[in-house]
Amino acid sequence: MLAAQWERLVQENAPLRVIENGEVVSAAADYYDERILACVPEGAHPAAHTIGRACAQIHVSDDFLFERIRALAAAGAVEIVTDGGTYRDMVIQRGTLR
């Protein structure tokens, strides 16, 4: 059973694995994007605040969230006001595409 499940996951070769209804399933990289965007408050603020809120709600790594914030910025859903080398130095706000 577990070997077959693992083989299916390997074949799907998805960038992310998540637990849905108690089962590990493949997911697209943007799986959590709506939940991340929900953590971005109005106005400019440190990206660390959004990442902290999102970590508390969806239990993924801060590095993953930082990567997704950069992807969301590239898509226009988040605007990078100040781009620091780390999320602790970055300031973001809601983008025009939400």
* Residue 88 DSSP class: G
Domain count along the chain:
2
Instruction: Tell me, yes or no, whether 64 and 78 share the same domain.
Output: yes
- Tens of pLDDT, residues 63-79: 999 999 999 999 999 99
pTM given for the model: 0.87
Instruction: Tell me, yes or no, whether 64 and 40 share the same domain.
Output: yes
Residue 34 has pLDDT above 60, yes or no: yes
Instruction: Tell me, yes or no, whether 17 and 39 share the same domain.
Output: no
Instruction: Tell me, yes or no, whether 21 and 45 share the same domain.
Output: no
Phi, psi of 18 (to 5 degrees): -135, 165
How many Å apart are CA 30 and CA 39, to the nearest integer?
A: 15
Instruction: Tell me, yes or no, whether 55 and 82 share the same domain.
Output: yes
Instruction: Tell me, yes or no, whether 41 and 13 share the same domain.
Output: no
Residue 29 has pLDDT above 70, yes or no: yes
Mean pLDDT for the stretch of residues 23-42: 94
Which domain does 16 fall in, by range?
1-28
